[in-house]
Amino acid sequence: MSVIAEVRSSVHRVPLVRPWGPNTTHIHLVVTRVITDDGRAGTGFSWAPNVGGRAAHTLLESDIRDAAIGLPAHPAVAYDRLWWHLHEAGRGGLTTIALAAVDLALWDLRAPAGLVESIGRRRDAVPVYGSGVNRHYGVDELVDQARRWVERGLTAVKIKVGLADLDEDVARVAAVRRVVGPGVRLMLDANQLWDLPRALHAIEAFRPHDPYWIEEPLPADDVQAYARLREGAPGVPIALGENTHTPWQFRDLLTAGACDILQPNVVRVGGVTPFLRIVDLARAFNVPVHPHLLPELSGQLACCLPLPAMVEDVEDASFAALGLLDTAAPPPVRIGADGLLRPGDGPGLGLRFDVDLLKSTRLDDDGGNS
């Protein structure tokens, strides 16, 4: 088996086409190349929308690089060794976000026929749901966004809730429900903004508008409160997991009966290797997995899941929409007018970043664009 000979990373500040609020106008992207002793190279990435991108890059360039060189170029073997090496700095969060870049690069190497075929294809296409970071939108702007999703052929949409005034939240949900109609699944995301009493009250207020799920209504780590919420608000599924980082944490959610739907983010959990372990756990509990964000990669993973899933496409925030991908290369996924995502047929992860854009967005050591 070949071994890792080199790990090289760069960090980039990429403007968002559609800012997620006054304080979130860009994302950080870390691009990592893993080179083996036999001359092969794979490309992976890490990602952070607001904070942590530069820290992940620093970790990759120091502790991870030093520990990775000489390891077998096998994703699971390397991941376990690297996670153990780093766990004293944190069992999840920054460490797993940084580790994802190496794991994804190794999967890029491991899948010459494509990621879907390497893992095991279970379906050829998966539904896409429109999503937006839109709590700061006025009602008219929110309704226009929902209308765009429906006009694209999407059969499910997700909006943000969690305003200070619950009546205003309910009015916005009602307005979106009217424009998308009764046949479209409508999901609501509170981004951990409520306590248990408010979450119980809000769910009852939203119930007439038929929410398909309520996402992260409570702080993500409060496992027992989630179990109590499910008991107190039957009939409205609870989705959770985008801010959960390790298979053990997901195990605790499942054994506590804390959620109906799991939403692991493939970067935040550390890459494809731990993502697949989480999927196996969820299957044992008959809980579906709907991957969080990153449709170019999540869409491929969703085609391999044992239970049906949807893929999240935040408006104008995919790698393609941000101009990060080389348009001369085959796309990793395609989203059709029927609202379905289909994976491409290229090798590896299928992600080929635009070299010119990476040059123009690269951060130098002082934090400015070089």
Q: Please list the active-site residues.
A: 160, 292
Give the separation between CA 275 and CA 281, rounded to whole angstroms.
10
Of 273, 306, 272, the residue nearest 289 (C-alpha): 306
For residues 192 and 198, what is the distance between their CA atoms, to the nearest angstrom?
11
Tell me, rounded to whole angstroms, the distance of Cα 328 from its chain centroid. Answer: 25
What's the CA angle centered on 334, arms 210 and 53, to 5 degrees? 80
Are the C-beta atoms of 293 and 302 separated by less than 8 Å? no
CA–CA gap between residue 245 and residue 265 (Å, rounded): 8
**DSSP 8-state code for residue 61:** I
DSSP structure string for 86-135: HGGG-SSSHHHHHHHHHHHHHHHHH-TT-HHHHH--S-S-EEEEEE---T
Amino acid found at 182? P
Strands 211-215 and 238-240: parallel
Residue from 312, 293, 291, 313 nearest 301 by CA: 291
271, 79 in Cβ contact below 8 A?
A: yes
Residue type, 244: T
Q: What is the DSSP letter of 255?
A: H
Q: Identify which of 116, 120, 108, 104 has the alpha carbon closest to the alpha carbon of residue 267.
A: 104
- Please choose, from the candidates 162, 174, 158, the residue with its C-alpha nearest in 3D space to the C-alpha of residue 135: 162
CB 187 within 8 A of CB 156: yes
Amino acid letter, 29: L
For residue 198, the number of C-alpha atoms closer than 13 Å in the C-beta half-sphere is 17
> Which structure tokens are listed for 195?
């306590």
